[in-house]
Each structure stands twice: as structure tokens, then as C-alpha cells.
Amino acid sequence: MKTLSLVFAGLASLSLVNITYACGGAWAQCGGTGFQGEACCTSGYTCVKQNEWYSQCQPGSSGGSNNNNNNNNNNNNNNNNNNNNNSNNNNNNNGGSSNYPKGSNLQFYTQCKKPMTWAMTYDDGPTEFADAILDLLKQKNIKATFFVLGNMYMNINSPDWSRLVKRMYNEGHVVGSHTFSHNDLTQLSYQQIIDEMKKLEDGVYKAIGKKPAFMRPPYGSGNGNQNVMNALKAAGYTAAINWNVDPMDYSNGGDINYAKQVINQAKGKPIITLNHLKYSGATKDGIIALAKAEIDTMLANGYTPVTMEECLGMSAYQ
């Protein structure tokens, strides 16, 4: 009986560790339409609703508990995107030579339009790990979408920034905007948003000769915010792209088991995965291992990898 008690106690302890580990840390996503992770925050943080699509762990009262009023939309599986299900053109997946029509009006997206398609995305690049990820994607024959920044881990004026963005594009990946400095667009004026977008797209244009039409808003915010929507439309953007599967690498150190868990929870839906080219404690080996696990799990689940152009059926560039 003593042995059994110890076993049960050990299992209970492991279970508690897993639940705590899955809760988001500082500034992690903790809810929103289509969110597949744990709707809770670690101790010292509380889950605060930013908008329909995104809730975030912010400093506040004790964490670790569900914040149901912020996460009512988690199981809606992004049905709001059904009205966007126009047929996709099955053209090549080379981001450098788009045959897709240009979008006509800005919309927010969290999933692809066709069943059993999956778009792998990376935020916050370029970084020192970009070459390693690009090497892996080439080896696995996967085309991803990179939402790049101008002044976070690598400055837009550095030779490596341009080299890496050019490599992304030349190897058939889509290059989108994650803004210049990763500010929450809902906290900026109309002109500040325009400036954020223009500074980044000028650098992208110098590197690849095209301006992005796709962007990812920092923190996933801005949907329904008229100021943000108007500014992005005026800047020529046709798609603001969030996600419906978040492995939470930025808050759990790239936990492979957790990534597999949230991927498998979303099985059967069109998927956009959120990944980061750098996060606290990231190593090249860790980022590569997580990417391999995601790719292998998605392919084993029967998904077809697609670029964001194929995912949405529209051109990635203005």
C-alpha cells in the first residue's frame, strides 16, 4: 500500500507540474477565438482580454486560474472565417513568384481556408537562428511564412537582416510584416501605425523588391479596432494573420510535448501555427527540435503544408 501511495502521489505531482507549466508566463497568450492552449497564467499574472481574438497574461493578481469571461470564444474554431472560404488557386508555393490575386479589403484570419491545410509561421525574425531554421525547412521541403521585425533581435540596417530576408524570399517562403518595433497597434495613433508599417516595408522592399500585403499584429491585437483597421488598409495591407494553434514556445521554453498536445487538439481543422525565431532561453538545438516535432506531427496527422498565399488564396505582396 505504501508503494502504491507513492506511485499515486508521484503521478499527481507530475500532473500538477504539467498543468502549471502549460499556463502562460509574462505577456503570453491565454485565450481568444481559436486559442488551443491553457486558459490560465502563472502566479503573479492574470489573463486580460485584449479583444475577441487575443487575451494576454499581464502582471496582476495571482495566476494559475482560468479566466472564463476572457476565453468564451476558445472553442468556436474560427467559424467567423467561413465567409472567406473562396476557392484557392492551386499554383506553386514559391513566395517569390505569386500567381494569386491581390486582396481587395483587409480582413483578420486565424486559419487557412481549405480543410487539412497547415501554414507554419514564424514571428520576430530575423535572428541568429534563422539560417538553421531555413536549412531545416529546405531539408523537409516545407515553405513557411516569416513575419519580420525591423528592430528587435536584429536591426533592419544590418547586412544580415537583408541577407536573411532575401534568403527567406528566394527559397520560396512568404515574407510578411510584424511591424518595425513590435508595439501594440491599439496603443498607437493612426500616423504612428502608418510609420511602423512603412519603416518595415521599406526595408523589405530593399531586400526583395516587394512590399508585404500580409502582416501579423504584435500580440494579435487590433481586430475590430477602427483606427488599426483603417491604418492598415491605407498602408496597403489585405490580411492581418493571427493563429489557431500556439505551442507557446515563448513562455514554456519550446516544450515539445506541449506543442504536440495543442497540435493534436486541433486535428481536423485548417491550421495556422505560431512559432518564434527567438525567445527567452532559446538555443539553436531547441528551436530546431521544436520545428522538427511540429513538422513531423502535422504530416503524421495528414496535413498538407502550404504557404500563406495558398492558405488564404491571395497574393502576399502589394
d(CA 31, CA 51): 10
Chain centroid to CA 263: how far?
13
Best CA proximity match to 171, nearest among 125, 138, 129, 148? 138
Q: Is the peptide bond before 270 cis (omega within 30 degrees of 0)?
A: no
The question of whether 123 is a catalytic residue gets the answer yes
Q: Which amino acid is at 225?
A: N
d(CA 160, CA 199): 17
The residue from 123, 246, 249, 255 that is catalytic is: 123
Residues 6+ apart with CB under 8 A from 174: 95, 143, 144, 145, 146, 214, 307, 308, 309, 316
C-alpha cell at 217: 499584429
Check residue 161 and give left, alpha or beta (phi > 0: left; psi -120 to 50: alpha).
Answer: alpha
C-alpha cell at 136: 531545416
Strands (E), 84-191: 107-109, 117-125, 145-148, 174-177
Pairing of strands 45-51, 54-59: antiparallel
Pairing of strands 145-148, 29-31: unpaired
The residue from 124, 249, 255, 276 that is catalytic is: 276
The question of whether 173 is a catalytic residue gets the answer no
Place of cell 533592419: 156
**Residues catalogued as catalytic:** 123, 276
